[in-house]
Structure 1
Amino acid sequence: MSNACYCIVLRKASRRISAVYDEALAPHGINIAQFSAMRNIIRHEPISLTDLADKLDLDRSTVGRNMKVLERLGIVATATGADQREAALSLTAEGKALLVKTEPIWHDVQVQIEDRLGPEHSRQLSELLEAI
């Protein structure tokens, strides 16, 4: 058994990786968490806050606060969903255009990380993280 705390090691690595994505996306006014939310919205739109929270594995209230920010930026629109008690989220035209602009940036960061790790370690990392 390792003396290193797995939680701390993973959190540190997560912060480092997030910083790489955030730096690349910053010129477009979004971070990796917002980019991920946008990708999930476009895949499933219209999507309820509850369903989006499930897909992102986050608390519904956290996702709600995050969506308010994207709404103020003109990236996300909310409408009444099939269940009148819950909002349905979709990307605005501006949000879709931003996603088109930022997906190649996200892809470039993916390639940079894979190049740094090498193909075998990249595959192993994905497998290990999926096992958790």
Structure 2
Amino acid sequence: MSNDDVPFETTLLVRDTCLCLHVQRAARVLARTFDEAFRPVGLTNWQFSLMMALNRPEPPGIGAVAPLLGMDRTTLTAAVKPLQRRGLVAILSNPRDRRSRLLSLTPEGRALLTQAVPIWKQVHAGIESGLPEGGDGLRADLVAVSLPPKEWGHSAR
């Protein structure tokens, strides 16, 4: 073993303590669980989340939705395209600023979301029932981690 090798003990430490690893693994399991649950209505968990973000009294701008979903505007625009092709989401010109776009659920999108919400409620309740505090502590911790890194009390390198 050379001096440049990372000791196996470090690998075990990362495996057991790395927040990023544990969040990614949990996210994958949750994503697969919800993808399977939403399959009968033809949605993925990501599409459900995106459509829920658009379920507002007034159509939001792309710039308002992107940070809510933790993504940039370009990625959001690409994610909307399949829903737009299916007639579930419309991209509208903003009457106050023709350069910006608004995202709106179509009547078909609202109808599909109405079918999907009971599925989400059932699956979500089942997951929460198995968590300490019904998931409140986990949710609070995830909200804290989703803040920009400068708010964590150190500077990211």
Q: TM-score, normalised by structure 1?
A: 0.90
Determine which of 24, 27, 37 is the counterpart of 1:11: 24
Identity of aligned residues (%): 38
What's the CA shift for 1:65? 0.5
Alpha-carbon distance in structure 2 between the residues aligned to 1:45 and 1:29: 25
Alpha-carbon distance in structure 1 between the residues aligned to 2:122 and 2:134: 18
What's the CA shift for 1:70? 0.5
Q: Which letter maps to 2:22? A: V
2:124 matched residue in structure 1: 110
Mapped contact 1:25–1:105 kept (Cα < 8 A): yes
What's the CA shift for 1:13? 0.7
1:84 matched residue in structure 2: 98
What's the CA shift for 1:107? 0.5
> Structure 2: where are the runs of 5+ without partners?
1-11, 146-157
Higher mean C-alpha displacement, 101-110 vs 122-131: 122-131
> Structure 1: where are the runs of 5+ without partners?
none
The answer to whether the aligner puts 1:52 opposite 2:65 as a matched pair is yes
Mapped contact 1:45–1:89 kept (Cα < 8 A): no
Q: Which letter maps to 1:116? A: G
SS of structure 1 residue aligned to 2:103: strand
1:100 matched residue in structure 2: 114
Which of 1 and 2 has higher RCO (CA within 8 Å, sep 6+)?
1
Alpha-carbon distance in structure 2 between the residues aligned to 1:16 and 1:127: 20
Q: Which letter maps to 2:110? A: K
Report the aligned-residue RMSD.
1.6
Q: TM-score, normalised by structure 2?
A: 0.77
